[in-house]
């Protein structure tokens, strides 16, 4: 949509149309297609956690404004989770902040930390709200492109180093990475940390897919690297890990001065949110390892079903090491424009996918890539694969 069609929208937001997720989910509904576009599971998370939310609601816990930083039980559970999984120790009172999903964490962090004109380096393709939030904060985004290399999308560390200027304020990273499924390696994160320390940059790391890591890959929180804890804002979310994306419970962990800055912005965005759900997520974070292992194994099986189906339907598949998305290349199908492909796909095959180009500044670099979500029931994935094959 052009700005002339939206005469009241300010210049900072003029380039951002309706999010691709809303557009494609609407298309899925209007055409009755299988929605492998927007990333949300088609089954809810653990019954006992759902019941915990019901209990909180019935018991009148969280029905009125919860405390600004989040309820103590949840802040304690977040700190315990970081300690148990990664050996990262955070004070629940001064180093943890509960947000309205990771989305608000991203917005509040960028609004709090950026001065107008500051440059933010983000890996392209990037999650769509990064660009909009950098713009709302008056910052300038500087994309560093992840490029296909031996079956996955990789970072060029020299390019990253060259992207840092006098104006660079922060690195906005995302591992496991949406939409490519790339998981940053120890070597890559070591170099990122070295660069951040050397150039005295803040690091904001979006780790909402921390529990969705497959094969030999390992999730390594950026804050665990040397010199990083004091400069890193880590963002997490219950949506992906517990399959309750509608609850919108996210969080930030960081040293007190950074949390305090983020809280300053957050208090004027939502102030607070998700009262009863905060109690339920506190219980969810304390689930035994068996929950997290089973969740990961289930998603891995789904990944393999969809990857096989997409391969059979003629796509080149980049097998993701993390997240619940598969990025494909449509050129083996004789196609090159992912936008046109995704707009036609519901009619042609009754399936909805996301054109990765929307996650790029260099749109041409993302043109032939299309993302499919596999957080769906196995039969749904099989049916989608069958339809895609038939439409070939």
Nearer to ligand GLN, 126 or 291 (CB): 126
Within residues 120-179, the interface with ligand GLN by CB under 6 A covers: 178
Shortest distance, CB of residue 320 to ligand PMP, whole angstroms? 13
- Residue 271 gets the label, from left (phi > 0), alpha (psi -120 to 50) or beta, of left
Nearer to ligand PMP, 171 or 333 (CB): 171
CB neighbour burial string for 168-185, b if at least 16 within 10 angstroms, e if fewer: bbbbbbbbbbbbbbbbbb
Cα torsion angle, 258, 262, 267, 273, sign = negative
Q: Nearest to residue 255, comparing CAs of 80, 93, 137? A: 93
Nearer to ligand PMP, 99 or 328 (CB): 99
Shortest distance, CB of residue 204 to ligand GLN, whole angstroms? 17
Q: How far apart are CA 244 and CA 46, in angstroms?
A: 9
Strand ranges in the chain using DSSP code E only, listed in sequence order: 34-35, 96-100, 119-124, 140-145, 147-149, 152-154, 168-174, 202-206, 232-237, 249-253, 316-318, 325-329, 351-352, 354-355, 369-373
CB contact at 8 A, 71 and 98: yes
Cα torsion angle, 13, 17, 20, 24, sign = positive
Shortest distance, CB of residue 347 to ligand PMP, whole angstroms? 27
Which residue of 3, 14, 17, 21 would you call a contact of ligand GLN, by CB under 6 A? 21
The yes or no reply on residue 236 touching ligand GLN (CB under 6 A) is no
370 contact choice in ligand GLN, ligand PMP, none (CB below 5 to 8 Å, kind-dependent) = none
Place of tokens 């300690």: 83
Instruction: Point out the residue whose Cβ comes nearest to ligand PMP.
Output: 101
List residues binding ligand PMP (CB under 6 A). Answer: 39, 101-103, 127, 174, 178, 206, 208, 237, 239-240, 245, 248, 250
Nearer to ligand PMP, 31 or 270 (CB): 270
206 contact choice in ligand GLN, ligand PMP, none (CB below 5 to 8 Å, kind-dependent) = ligand PMP
Nearer to ligand PMP, 373 or 388 (CB): 373
21 contact choice in ligand GLN, ligand PMP, none (CB below 5 to 8 Å, kind-dependent) = ligand GLN
Q: How far apart are CA 217 and CA 353, in angstroms?
A: 25
Nearer to ligand GLN, 214 or 279 (CB): 214
Nearer to ligand PMP, 126 or 279 (CB): 126
Tokens linked to 127: 């999650």
The yes or no reply on residue 38 touching ligand GLN (CB under 6 A) is yes
Nearer to ligand PMP, 168 or 237 (CB): 237
Shortest distance, CB of residue 274 to ligand GLN, whole angstroms? 16
The yes or no reply on residue 237 touching ligand GLN (CB under 6 A) is no
Binding mask 173-212 for ligand GLN (x = CB under 6 A): -----x----------------------------------
Cβ neighbors of 46 (< 8 A, separation 6 or more) are: 242, 284, 287, 291
Q: How far apart are CA 281 and CA 294, in angstroms?
A: 18
> Contact positions toward ligand GLN, by CB under 6 A?
19, 21, 38-39, 178
């Amino acid at each position: 949509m052009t700005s002339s069609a939206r005469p009241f929208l300010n210049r900072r937001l003029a380039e951002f149309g309706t999010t691709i997720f809303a557009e494609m989910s609407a298309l899925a509904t209007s055409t009755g297609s299988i929605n492998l576009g927007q990333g949300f599971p088609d089954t809810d998370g653990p019954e006992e956690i759902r019941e915990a939310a019901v209990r909180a609601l019935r018991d009148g816990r969280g029905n009125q404004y919860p405390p600004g930083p989040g309820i103590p039980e949840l802040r304690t559970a977040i700190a315990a989770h970081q300690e148990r999984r990664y050996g990262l120790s955070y004070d629940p009172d001064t180093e943890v902040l509960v947000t309205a999903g990771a989305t608000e964490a991203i917005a509040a962090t960028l609004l709090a930390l950026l001065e107008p004109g500051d440059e933010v380096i983000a890996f392209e393709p990037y999650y769509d709200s990064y660009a909009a939030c950098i713009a709302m904060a008056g910052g300038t985004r500087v994309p560093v492109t992840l490029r296909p290399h031996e079956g996955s999308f990789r970072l060029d560390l020299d390019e990253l180093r060259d992207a840092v200027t006098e104006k660079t304020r922060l690195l906005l990273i995302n591992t496991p990475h949406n939409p490519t499924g790339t998981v940053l390696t120890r070597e890559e994160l070591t170099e990122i940390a070295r660069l951040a320390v050397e150039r005295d940059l803040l690091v904001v790391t979006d780790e909402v897919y921390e529990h969705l890591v497959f094969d030999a890959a390992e999730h390594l929180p950026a804050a665990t690297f040397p010199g990083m804890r004091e400069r890193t804002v880590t963002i997490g979310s219950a949506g992906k890990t517990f399959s309750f994306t509608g609850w919108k419970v996210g969080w930030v962990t960081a040293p007190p001065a950074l949390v305090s800055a983020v809280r300053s912005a957050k208090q004027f965005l939502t102030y607070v949110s998700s009262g009863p759900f905060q109690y339920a997520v506190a219980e969810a974070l304390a689930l035994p390892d068996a929950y997290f292992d089973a969740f990961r194994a289930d998603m891995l099986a789904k990944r393999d079903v969809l990857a096989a189906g997409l391969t059979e339907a003629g796509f080149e598949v980049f097998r993701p090491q993390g997240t619940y998305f598969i990025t494909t290349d449509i050129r083996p199908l004789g196609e090159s424009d992912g936008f046109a492909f995704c707009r036609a796909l519901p009619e042609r095959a009754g399936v909805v996918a996301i054109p990765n180009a929307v996650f790029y500044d260099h749109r041409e670099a993302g043109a032939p890539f299309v993302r499919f979500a596999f957080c769906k029931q196995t039969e749904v994935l099989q049916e989608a694969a069958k339809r895609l094959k038939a439409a070939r």
